[in-house]
Chain A
Amino acid sequence: MRFAVVQFGGSNCDLDVAHVLRHVCGVETDLLWYKERLGRDYDAVVIPGGFSYGDYLRAGAIAARTPIMDEILRHAKDGGLVLGICNGAQIGAESRLVPGTFTLNAYPKFLCRPVHVRVENSGTPFTSLYRDGEVIRLPIAHKEGRYMADPAVLAALNRERRVVFRFSDPKGRITEEMNYNGSAENITGVLGEGGNFLAMMPHPERASEEVLGSEDGRKIFLSMIQYIEAQG
């Protein structure tokens, strides 16, 4: 089993993700500079957080149009797992791997803080080790993280259980107060159409070791690993 972590100019969570995959989850992981090709079959690709291309134009817009993204789209189309975290989620939305967009926070400042999110669907390759309705604590760090989509898209996401995480209070109540960035319906984790791409604004790699205050994020990576193992 092998994971790839893609690095764009301005990615800055790439080494954190690789560290968690390699040393916490024990899975072989390659760091891939965006000018390289995917080059081999990976079981999963992670698009990490950061500020690719300085967030010029729109967060993720320029990285989404690089040739390596065509290969990642192909990997996803073939059923491979792709996890987009923070800037990776923005890149995923700009690549139309998920519908909607992550745009400027309702109160337009950079938010860096721990949040609670409720797991809305534990039947995905990314969340199988959680329970439905489980509340986990992860950090967010973004200025363009407000999820927005047309009402028809939101209805389809709900119907198809493609909403994976919503901002909640510690008891799992979905409230306006906990909706830090003003996202539609508190949504902060969305699945792509095939169910094998997850775009999420919170950072699971920053909550995968006890020393960092929360291990709640680790199960995302472990769920992916378990899913890949079950696929054989």
Chain B
Amino acid sequence: MNFDVEVRITLKPGILDPEARAIQHALADLGFLTTRLSTARVFSISMEAEDRSHAGELAREMCERLLANPVIHRYEVEVRE
């Protein structure tokens, strides 16, 4: 079966996000005062898998082996049919 999977990679809490900080400053220059801003990376993946849980398993393996860096990242996987 074909599954659509969304993988969302974020920095672990407490890890400095220089990109977010720069964006926050740029927003402030435009007059938008924000109290928090973080960035995330989303991968939209379609793939064949045996079932829903297998699709999730494959996506998590992708994160462990390539998409995320365990030193700084956490990831979430959402399987959609």
Contacts and interface: CB of A to CB of B under 8 A. Distances in A.
Contacts of B69: 58, 61, 94, 101, 103
**A-side binding surface: helix, strand, loop or mixed?**
loop
A33 interface: no
Given A148-B71, A148-B72, A149-B71, A108 B22 contact: yes
Interface string A52-73: 0000011001100100000000
A103 B16 CA distance: 10
A125 B40 CA distance: 40
A176 to B, nearest CB: 14
Nearest to A143: B18
A107 interface: yes
B67 interface: yes
Contacts of B22: 108
A28 interface: no
A230 B71 CA distance: 36
**B-side binding surface: helix, strand, loop or mixed?**
helix
B1 interface: no
Contacts of A223: none
Contact of B19 (A57, A94, A101, A108): A108
A73 B51 CA distance: 35
A148 B18 CA distance: 13
A58 B66 CA distance: 10
Given A101-B71, A101-B72, A106 B66 contact: no
B72 A103 contact: yes
Chain A to chain B: the 10 pairs with minimum beta-carbon distance, closest first:
A108-B18, A101-B71, A104-B18, A101-B69, A106-B18, A108-B22, A108-B19, A100-B71, A101-B72, A58-B69
